[in-house]
């Protein structure tokens, strides 16, 4: 039974994996709604004991199964600290009248910014020139400048966007502001009425100088970029994946990077954290690859917006319960 006090409904709230939200995020506003149990991480064996008396649970990646929900008799609300809902059995939740809420749109600006951070690093050869300055090579040179590694502008290039959702559209808009021509490929096949030219995947890969992926992982996108179409990429083309790891075949990308001069930037991997045996970590030309550890979504501002979204979801739920 939901407990009500002079302060309103008081809930037993459990956060299962707060470490995924960052230790710099202030979670104390959640205490407004009741007793808060905050666990940085939760193993599969620990889930049941931690949610058994919970009214509300907050999870980012911890999987909530049918069996767990059936045992958590007090559970009324599952707040997913993310946009994706694949870690919760939604059918069972509906049958048990457990409300499930996610948060959308909080990371758009962060992912878009990271897309251009990675692009500009690769196009401008920033790591290379930073090292030239710091190791003394520039100091020993005779010129005021160092032009040993040619770099390029985005202006005049063709930018291909795979997945023209909210993030893809914002990337397209900014790419145009840089002076690029934008084409896109709809992974669902349904999104073909836009301000940009729609191309089939093969043509997009063949004609683009820069390709960025902003699509979800599903049947249409699993292994979308693979050994059969990677050869379509132009020499010196840049491929960025800021969607999901399984969209790009990492073994085939490693082979292509060793074979010829293309450039790849990945914020996501199929298995995270990346395995030490992943061929991407053993490239003959590591300078052709730029990687970050799934952080595109996670600017402090994005994580603050995520927390606000979780709080609003709880408020909405409690308001409906009072009514």
Query: Is beta strand 3-5 parallel, antiparallel or unpaired with respect to 8-15?
Result: antiparallel
d(CA 268, CA 171): 18
Backbone angles phi, psi at 208, to 5 degrees: -95, 145
Q: What is the torsional sign of CA 127, 128, 133, 135?
A: positive
Residue 241, CA atoms < 13 Å, CB-side half-sphere: 26
CA 241, distance to chain mean position in Å, is: 9
Q: Which of 136, 63, 100, 53 is nearest to 310 (CA)?
A: 100
CA dihedral 234, 240, 241, 242 (to 10 degrees): -150
Catalytic positions: 244, 272, 294
d(CA 234, CA 243): 21
User: Cβ distance 237 to 209 under 8 Å?
Assistant: yes
């Amino acid at each position: 039974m939901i407990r009500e006090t002079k302060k309103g409904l008081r809930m037993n709230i459990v956060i299962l994996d707060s470490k995924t939200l960052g230790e710099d995020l202030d979670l104390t506003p959640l205490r407004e709604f009741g007793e808060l149990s905050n666990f940085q991480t939760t193993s599969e064996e620990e889930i049941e004991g931690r949610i058994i008396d919970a009214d509300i649970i907050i999870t980012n990646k911890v999987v909530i199964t049918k069996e767990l929900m059936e045992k958590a008799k007090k559970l009324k609300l599952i707040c997913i600290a993310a946009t994706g809902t694949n870690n919760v059995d939604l059918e069972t939740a509906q049958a048990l009248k457990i409300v499930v809420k996610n948060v959308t749109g909080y990371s758009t600006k962060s992912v878009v910014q990271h897309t251009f951070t990675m692009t500009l690093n690769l196009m401008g050869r920033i790591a290379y020139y930073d090292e030239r300055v710091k190791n003394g090579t520039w100091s020993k040179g005779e010129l005021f400048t160092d032009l040993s590694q040619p770099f390029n502008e985005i202006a005049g290039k063709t930018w291909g966007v795979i997945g023209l959702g909210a993030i893809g559209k914002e990337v397209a808009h900014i790419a145009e502001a840089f002076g690029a021509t934008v084409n896109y490929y709809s992974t669902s096949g349904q999104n073909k009425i836009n301000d940009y030219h729609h191309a089939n995947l093969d043509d997009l890969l063949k004609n683009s100088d820069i390709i960025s992926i902003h699509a979800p992982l599903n049947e249409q996108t699993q292994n979308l970029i693979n050994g059969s179409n990677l050869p379509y990429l132009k020499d010196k083309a840049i491929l960025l994946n800021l969607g999901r790891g399984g969209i790009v075949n990492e073994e085939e990308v490693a082979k292509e990077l060793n074979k010829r001069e293309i450039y790849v930037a990945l914020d996501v991997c199929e298995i995270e954290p990346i395995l030490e045996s992943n061929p991407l970590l053993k490239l003959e030309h590591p300078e052709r690859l730029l990687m970050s550890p799934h952080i595109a979504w996670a600017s402090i501002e994005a994580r603050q917006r995520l927390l606000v979204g979780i709080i609003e979801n709880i408020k909405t739920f409690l308001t409906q319960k009072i009514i």
